[in-house]
Amino acid sequence: MIDILALSPLPDTLTPSLAEHYAVHVGLDTAPLDRIRGLVGGGAMRLDAGLLARLPALEIVAVHGVGHDGIDKAALAARGITLAITAGTLTEDVADLAIGLWLAVERRIAVNDRAVRGGGWDVPLARRASGRRIGVFGLGAIGRAIAARAAPFASELLYTARSKKDVPWRYVPDLRTLAAASDALFLAAAAGAETDGAVDAGVLAALGPQGVLVNVARGSLVDQAALIAALDAGGIAGAGLDVFADEPAVPAALHRDTVVLSPHQGSATHEARAAMAAMVVANLDAHFAGREPPGLVR
């Protein structure tokens, strides 16, 4: 059987099907590194040239997710190593969660739930979600899915992306202008040097004291210290966050009634995880059969 290395324990949805096809080794300490031909890991895994040098037979990196910002893609390319992700398997679920987080902030769903569980009933007024100007930063598959869900709520839907797309929404060329034009700002852009810390103090100031930030992309897109400062000062109205700067650490300063927190659960549905597991195996099977993996990253 072909030897596969998992950099960390695999989810239960993936382990059985992967073990049917491959000899799976978990962790670097006991794996036969000179025989490893495939590497499997989550979207947050780190893979640099140093680790690649320890894997001389490696042919493919199969990501259980869509994020690959922690992978040295230049080092992969230099070795001719294939990179594949589970493209399209989690789009709908991440978009669903984004809308849920936004509504939970606007309508105080989480904090009101806590109040009722504690015996309370009289709570502050919430804010109407319908009729707001909604901005989406990043219009890949997930960004489009968020925009399609948000559009029925919106008085206007706007987006910022690398280029103008053939969509019915208004294109705004830069993030700060998008924030200034939005009442709710959704982050769906890919992580990387280009977007690292993109939501800084200036963007948050542009979003303004009535604005809500929703992040289902990566924690690295937001200057977390600037976000906390904006919340402290009333510079924005609130935030719905599924991702953080240093997961799983979440600063106590984000534990407040105006912020709804989620532990990076965008793809955490039975349906998405089953589809992700199937695509990891499909990517590996295709590669070792000499075919192009369905989730190939070009």
Please pick, among 132, 144, 218, 287, the residue that the annotation labels catalytic.
218
Give CA–CA dist 283/165, Å, rounded: 29
pTM of the model: 0.94
Give pLDDT tens digits for 61-111. 999 999 899 999 999 999 999 999 999 999 999 999 999 999 999 999 999
Which residues face 142 on adjacent strands? Answer: none
pLDDT at 91: 97
Q: Which phi and psi (to 5°) does residue 132 adopt?
A: -90, 155
Tokens of 238: 């609130």
Residue 199's pLDDT is: 98
Q: How far apart are CA 65 and CA 43, in angstroms?
A: 5
Q: Is 253 helix (H, G, I), strand (E, B) or coil?
A: helix
Question: Is pLDDT at 44 greater than 90 in this prediction?
Answer: no
Average pLDDT of the segment spanning 134-147: 98
pLDDT at 8: 82
Q: Where do the H-state alpha helices sit in the chain?
A: 15-21, 49-53, 73-79, 91-106, 109-117, 141-150, 175-180, 201-207, 224-232, 270-288
Q: Looking at domain 91-261, which of 3.40.50.720, 3.30.1370.10, 3.50.50.60, 3.10.129.10 is its CATH number? A: 3.40.50.720
CATH homologous superfamily of 3-89+269-288: NAD(P)-binding Rossmann-like Domain (3.40.50.720)
pLDDT band at 9 (very low <50, low <70, confident <90, very high): confident
Banded model confidence at residue 120, pLDDT cuts 50, 70, 90: very high
| pLDDT score, position 285 | 97
3-89+269-288 against 91-261: fold identical: yes
User: Catalytic pick from 108, 144, 264, 273?
Assistant: 264
Whether the CB-CB separation of 287 and 60 falls below 8 Å is answered with yes
> Catalytic annotation on 79?
no
Could you tell me the pLDDT band of residue 274, with boundaries at 50, 70 and 90? Answer: very high
- pLDDT of amino acid 174: 96
**Domain residue spans of the chain:** 3-89+269-288, 91-261
**Position 58 pLDDT exceeds 90:** yes
- Contact (CB, 8 A) for 92 and 70: no
The verdict on whether 156 is a catalytic residue reads no
The residue behind tokens 């290395």 is 5
Assign residue 175 a region: left if phi > 0, alpha if psi is -120 to 50, beta otherwise? alpha
Q: Is 247 a catalytic residue?
A: yes
Q: What percent of the chain has pLDDT over 90?
A: 96
Mean pLDDT of 199-227: 98
Marked catalytic residue, from 247, 271, 291, 292: 247
The C-alpha atoms of residue 258 and residue 253 are separated, in whole angstroms, by 11
